[in-house]
Structure 1
Amino acid sequence: MTSSRVPIGAALLAGVLLSSTPGTAQLQPQPQPPQTQTMSPGRPLGVAGDQAFTPISSNVRVYGGIVSAESCVYDPSRKLILAVNRGAPPDRVANDGFISLINPDGTVHTARWIGLESKDPVLNQPFGSAIHRGHLYVADSVGGTADGAKRSAIVRVFDLATGGVMATLPVPDSPWLNDIAVASDGTIFGSQTGAADGSVPMRIYRIGPNGTSSILAEGAPLSRPNGVEIDPQGNIVVLNLSDDAVMTFSPAGTLLRTERAAQAGNDGLVILADGTKYISSVVNGGVSRIRPGRPAELVATGIPNAASMCYDPDDDQLVIPMNANNGLAFIKLSRGRKR
């Protein structure tokens, strides 16, 4: 990563197609006092003139707009992929994170939707993300900056329609959360990957609908816990970074079962409605599939830095941020489009 902000336009590659045709329930966590800054969400790609904005024509395809993306989540209402970009490390450039809107074919819709300018609601070092009842949840942190400020975990909650900040939920005992998932009642579950030497505990946090955090699980069998997701029964599934374990915990924190991925070093987790799990290894580059009652099998290999992936049900595809490789990988699970 570089130590300065790179203009997003420099990372975009545009190509012109040779074609003649242009082609709800209330949020339960209590919000903090309203933000004083004015929200300015980014617009879709185009040119801003003195009098008017000219959107990019439909026969142009633009790829890129990804800077150290750690996670993604699919917005079914707009049929867009929200890519959560960490940007530069906060000890080099504070509040450099942003969220891009990506079309299902990988082209850029909005290069910077949240995080357009420093006056906007900031993302300091965003990691995991989830959508629940019209809101976008992002695991972020404050501090860890060049001034030596202590790093502390927070979960930012945005209005999915406008990008406005709805709530900022602190997790006082955690320096940072890696991945998050949101249960049907609005409870957030987040992984604290911790440190191999034990200096930072390995934990799964529970953040209740009232914003109060507690520890769901700590220590073994957690071993650098990373990916977190809710299964169809409402249980919490957790991946370990240090081994191949795929652990299912009850909402009370009881370990119900442990499955094994085809590779170790896992990060991304998608669970389909039928219980099938897809698991991406950020260390070894493969994607495991675990069908209910069956052993794991590899369905893709060699994906560098395969981070916290998401599922696009409209196109039946996995979308995998490639972290330091500044890109997204797409895996079709079936031939043809479901649209």
Structure 2
Amino acid sequence: MNKSLSILCVLCFISFLSKAQEDKVYLNPKIEALWKSSDELKTPESVYYCKKLKTIFVSNINGNPQEKDNNGFISKLTPDGNIVKLEWVKGLHAPKGMGIYKDRLFVTDIDRIAEIDIESGQIIKFYNVPDAKFLNDIVIDQSGGIYISDMQTNVIYKLYNGVVKKWLSSKSIVGPNGLCILKEFLLIGTKEKIVKVDLQKMTLSDYILDTGGIDGIICFDYNKLIYSDWNGNIYLASLGKETIKLLDTTPLKINAADLGFDYEKKILFVPTFYDNRVMAYKIKL
């Protein structure tokens, strides 16, 4: 067999294996794959889409999620997945959850919260959280209250008017991760369920049981949730209805970390962690 034919056979075999792997991926008819970014990203953990700026922000851990190595960064992408600036903001350790209030981007970074001026791309301030171990997700209410989950200490913190305080600690929230606000409730994704907390009364109750470990949560259309489990599974849930699996990329070992969402166009953005990409899907409901 000549060299050219040998190379062709190898390429055909690789293509066959890739197709076989893709066939194992589950894609519910309710979603449609749109695009995937290049793999220049470095351990992308969280995605936040800003409609006003038509920009996708991506937090890049770039290594160990718990290591203070100062090599984490934030990227900017276009709505169709092109990288505008890979290292838009540098000087972070292991950035994860993000949220925007007014002209500032807030990002968790292990045991501190970074406040970034979006126009200049400069870090304005770090809010240190001395007792924190693994700050993860962020969600912001209409008045600027910023809620932050600490996955290792089972605590929800709140940053408001420049002050960080312990807001909630309960045995009912084990391994809190993904956060979203649904009406007057804060929803918290934990190691095994989703719980809801009344933002005014501070009462806590179970919302959806037996979810397995949760990474990202998206609340939309008043009563719908999309959540991921990091391994590569994504689900759609509505209170009182059966939970539906939307996506399973575990056969390809492609993760599904902290989700982003275009609420107007119903486009889901999935950071793939070790796969170093963001993938986008159209939700068809």
Q: TM-score range by the shorter chain?
A: 0.7 to 0.9
- Give the corresponding residue for 2:136: 178
Map of 1:271 onto structure 2? 219
After TM superposition, give the deviation of residue 92 of structure 1 in Å: 7.4
Please, which of 174, 177, 183 is the counterpart of residue 226 of structure 1? 177
Alpha-carbon spacing, 1:290–1:229, altered in 2? closer, same or farther (3 Å): same
Preserved CA contact (<8 Å) 1:232 1:273 = no
* Residue correspondence of structure 1 range 149-164 to structure 2 within 5 A: 153-164=111-122
Match of 2:164 among 212, 220, 234: 212
> Contact 2:220 / 2:263 at 8 angstroms: preserved in 1?
no
Alpha carbons of structure 1 residues 69 and 224: separation in structure 2 relative to 1, 3 Å? same
Return the match for 2:75 from 88, 100, 118. Answer: 100
Aligned residues, how many? 246
1:313 CA drift (Å) = 3.0
Q: Does 1:259 align with 2:215?
A: no
Partner of 1:332: 282
- Name the aligned partner's letter for residue 229 of structure 2: S
Match of 1:80 among 35, 41, 55: 55
- Structure 2: 5+ residue runs without aligned partners? 1-35
CA displacement 1:145-199 (0-9 Å, x = unmatched): xxxxxxxx111111222212233212121123011111222222111111xxxxx
CA distance in 1, matches of 2:49, 2:127: 22
Structure 1 alignment gaps of length 5 or more: 1-60, 116-121, 142-152, 195-200
CA, structure 1 residues 90+223, in 2 after alignment: closer, same or farther (shift >3 Å)? closer
1:320 corresponds to which residue?
A: 270
Greater RCO between the two (CA within 8 Å, min separation 6)? 2
Instruction: Give identity over the alignment, percent.
Output: 24
Aligned to 1:54: none
Does the CA-based 8 Å contact 1:71-1:310 persist in structure 2?
yes
Q: Which has the higher strand share?
A: 2
Which one has a larger percent helix, Structure 1 or Structure 2? 2
Q: Distance in 1 between matches of 2:180 and 2:257?
A: 14
Amino acid at match of 1:258: Y
RMSD of aligned C-alpha atoms? 2.3
Give the superposition deviation at 1:91: 8.3
The TM-score with structure 1 as length reference comes to 0.67
- Structure 2 equivalent of residue 126 of structure 1: 95
CA change 1:316–1:62 in 2 (3 A) is closer
How has the CA–CA distance of structure 1 residues 334 and 170 changed in structure 2, closer, same or farther, with 3 Å as cutoff? same
Structure 1 counterpart of 2:229, from 272, 278, 281: 281
TM-score, normalization: structure 2?
Answer: 0.79
